[in-house]
Amino acid sequence: MSRAQSSECQPLPSDYTAAKAAAISAVTNILVGLPLQETAAASASGSSVAAAASNQGSNDKTEQRAIVRAFKRARSSAADKAIMKFFACEGIPFNKARSSWWRELISAVSAAGPGYVPPTYNAMRSTLLDNLKSSTG
């Protein structure tokens, strides 16, 4: 599908770097995930109140895990959509998703965390490219 054929694709903004940074930031936030917060369970003593509190703590943890899973699914779905939109709108062949470089990119962005800011166009075409050439040459 070409860029002109997709109703989802918009013309590239004049500030392409900002759009790319926003897309990568969205993907990063989705891939990193939310930390699971542990709730304090009541100590198990012989009383029915303590047992009820313990059961409630267990139910709270189960509910919390279900909520976290739902948020992760939603973030994953949003990431999948952003990735698909990037591939389709930029005319990137889908077989590029089989590349080990693609997997390395996704892993590196995920490991960088939610605050990761991608390199600018100028940094990529100069400093970063020079560093890559010297490290592989």
Better pLDDT: 41 or 114: 114
Position 56 scores a pLDDT of 57
Sign of the dihedral through C-alpha 80, 85, 90, 94: positive
Residue 61 has pLDDT above 50, yes or no: yes
Average pLDDT over residues 92-116: 92
Q: Of residues 45 and 93, which shows the higher confidence score?
A: 93
Q: Which two tokens stand for residue 8?
A: 């989802």
CA distance 25 to 118: 8
Q: In the predicted model, what is the mean pLDDT of residues 7-36?
A: 59
DSSP state of 96: G
- In contact, 8 and 85? CB cutoff 8 Å: yes
What is the Cα–Cα distance from 49 to 115, expressed in whole angstroms? Answer: 44
**pLDDT given at position 4:** 47
Element (H, E) at 108: helix 100-112
Least confident piece of the model among 8-12, 87-91, 98-102, 133-137: 8-12
pTM of the model: 0.49
Query: How sure is the predictor about 102, in pLDDT bands with cuts at 50, 70 and 90?
Result: very high
